[in-house]
Amino acid sequence: MKKIAILIVCTIMAANLSAQEGLKIGIQGGIPLDDFTDDVSLMLGLDVGHMWALGEVVDVGVTAGYIHGFAEKYHTGTIANDLPSIQFLKAAASVRFWTSNSFSFGVDAGQGFGLNDDNDGGFYYRPQLGYLMGESTELNLSYTGIQLGDSTEWSTVSIGIMYTIKTIKRF
């Protein structure tokens, strides 16, 4: 399963790298909610995607990325409990709606593939709000959810920055 996940993410990234127009690269950081607040202290995510404009209001695309939840460390007396980090590869479809020249809202939806032991991953979704700062830099606020098979959910709230690489047109 993990080999298939890695293959899917690498394929999406390779397709994105060959088509530079609308290539987005970003980083996000956040805190866990609900089921993982005692196990994870912080979350860091890396994203690569490609968006195509369907007009002035709607963009659609694909995204792939990596999520790493940094484990908490507990010390009780002389005993140290090291919990495992939680990691996911994600592959998803994206849609964005632009309400003005600077503000957007949208969602990524797809699959989150668990990388660490006893983590099978699950359905991945990430609703987000964005603010365009300049021509190619976007600040976004998002919620990330991954429905895990045992009725738990990986959920975080995060803030991130995304940079868009535009195509240089040659004549």
Q: What is the pLDDT of residues 15-42, one digit of tens each?
A: 444 333 589 999 999 999 988 888 888 9
Query: Which pLDDT tens digit goes with each residue over 156-170?
Result: 999 999 998 875 443
The pLDDT score that the predictor gives to residue 10 is 54
The structure tokens listed for 86 are: 């939680």
Given a cut of 90, whether residue 147 has pLDDT beyond it is yes
CA–CA gap between residue 92 and residue 74 (Å, rounded): 35
> Please, what are the domains in the chain?
2-165 (2.40.160.20)
Query: Which pLDDT tens digit goes with each residue over 57-82?
Result: 899 999 999 999 998 876 565 555 67
Q: Residue 27 contacts by C-beta under 8 Å, 6 or more apart in sequence? A: 44, 45, 46, 47, 160, 161
